[in-house]
Chains A and B, each alone.
Chain A
Amino acid sequence: MNIFNVTGRYFALMLRVFSRPERHSVYLRQIFNEIENLGVKSVGIVAVISLFMGGIMTLQVAYNMTNPLLPRTLIGLGNRDSLILEFSSTIMGLIMAGKIGSNITSEIGSMKVTEQIDSLEIMGVNSASYLILPKIIAVVLMFPLLYILSVFFGIIGGMIVGPAVGAVTLTDYVNGIQYAFNPYYVTFSLMKCLVFGFLIASIASFFGYTVEGGAFDVGAASTRAVVNTNILILVWDLILTQLLL
């Protein structure tokens, strides 16, 4: 399977995913299920990771600032901007590709190998749209919210760790996170999140939907989905940063 073949099949699948749904009420229910399953259930891990990320970033900025002439407020600012620009969007995207992505691939993949997808088709249901569309919508909706949550917890993480180990005073930190705030950074990252959310859900679904074989192949497909999503997230990060920032 070469890359053109795979890309072609990916777009062919997306075409089926975005064709007209059978019954809106059923889709709406599915979207809420997926928001719960993929989004709400990720809040915990996003909070924990972000607390640590913010704490560690704060310490690193503090330890790298050896020049006494630089104001200590830069520490809070440094943490805030790295979270807003890169950590809460891209790094969180890579982590979510692992968590949400592998979940999606293994769910759809096991439905494929146990003929549940054939079963939907034979009923006259567009299985691609029924299974994949709600996941894409849920992840694209939830990812920006998880991003905001991540920025919030990252800043809290710095606020706890920085003063606790004496790297920065609370006042300097709080002043720092309010200093020279550029709202466009947030807008920019929210746009990245929409793209990353789409990549995570659609690529994971594609690898699940095209599995052939048995449980072993589903596992292999999950791994491939995560690796490919990670690469594409980084490529798109590069493109969007160059285009939009």
Chain B
Amino acid sequence: MIEIKNIFKSFENKDVLRNISKVFNQGETNLIIGRSGSGKTVLLKSIVGLFEVEGGQILYDNRDFTSMNTRYRKELRQEMGMVFQGGALFDSLTVEENVRFPLDMFSTLSPMEKQKQVDFCLERVNITDANKLSPSEISGGMKKRVAIARAIVMNPKYLFCDEPNSGLDPETSLVIDALIHSITVDLQITTIINTHDMNSVMEIGDNILFISEGEKCWEGNRNEILYSDNQKLQEFVFANKQYQKIRDEKLNDQ
């Protein structure tokens, strides 16, 4: 479980996040949604400490991350995995070396055990026969999947994904969503995902935080999101008319 309390963050006098509080649950895919530029990436990077927040608290299973010194943060980071918007694979390493990198850096496993863990993770994300390729030789969807494999190789307790579906076709997006969801449930990870993709919201939105212009606007889950009377949320959700239809149909059924 990750809890954030009254988070504030600004860049050079420009407020980006204002007073955001939320509990993200273990074993669930927690989504942060909002328009482009609403502050999703900044919020996610603040939670993991890539940005320092100006105010508020971030608790990882009641461990206060905000007041931790560098050494303890580094230790806690070994319990985190993160998938970046562009994948952020290391260009100079092969697919396999990318996934093995955290193990080489931190684990005490033997080379054989490392290889087993790497193979297991790559299989988990359905990557076969690409082990020796370099990131420039694989497709965007594969990059995302390799990034997921690398993020889970240390058996993290916390998984963060920044727009795992951006730039992917709807079908591949569904595969990635399902993959992240099943990993989350199987390994009982606390997963936080940034997205502005309504398909993902309806598929895996166990616990949703909607932010608008840096402020918390709404929270709930995928069953509630279509029926909220929050004005800003409605604008966001029904930007795609298809969801209006879905809502109306469901209301008619009842």
Contact = CB atoms under 8 A, between A and B. Distances in A.
A162 to B, nearest CB: 45
Interface of A: 22-23, 26, 110-111, 114-116, 118-119, 121-126
A124 B82 contact: no
7 contacts: A22-B106, A111-B90, A115-B85, A118-B84, A119-B90, A122-B77, A124-B106
B105 A122 contact: no
B106 A119 contact: no
B78 A118 contact: no
A122 B90 contact: no
A123 B85 contact: no
Nearest to A117: B88
Contacts of B88: 114-116, 118-119
Contacts of B101: 123
A172 B104 CA distance: 59
A38 B189 CA distance: 42
A118 B160 CA distance: 13
A125 B75 CA distance: 10
A125 B105 contact: yes
B77 to A, nearest CB: 4
A123 B78 contact: yes
B251 interface: no
A26 to B, nearest CB: 6
Nearest to B89: A116
Contacts of B106: 22-23, 123-124
B194 to A, nearest CB: 13
Contacts of A22: 105-106
Interface size range of chain B in the complex: 20 to 34
A29 B4 CA distance: 40
B82 A122 contact: yes
B55 interface: no
Contacts of B84: 115, 118-119
A124 B77 contact: yes
A58 to B, nearest CB: 42
A63 B123 CA distance: 72
B86 A115 contact: yes
B91 A123 contact: no
Given A115-B86, A122-B81, A122-B82, 6 more contacts: A23-B106, A118-B50, A119-B84, A122-B50, A122-B77, A123-B154
Contact of A116 (B73, B74, B91, B105): B91
A138 to B, nearest CB: 15
A124 B48 contact: no
Contacts of B45: 118
B225 interface: no
A116 B90 contact: yes
B31 to A, nearest CB: 19
A116 B104 CA distance: 17
Contacts of A111: 90-91
B104 A122 contact: no
Nearest to A124: B77
B219 to A, nearest CB: 25
Contacts of A126: 74
A11 B16 CA distance: 29
B105 A121 contact: no
B105 A23 contact: yes
B149 to A, nearest CB: 13
B80 interface: yes
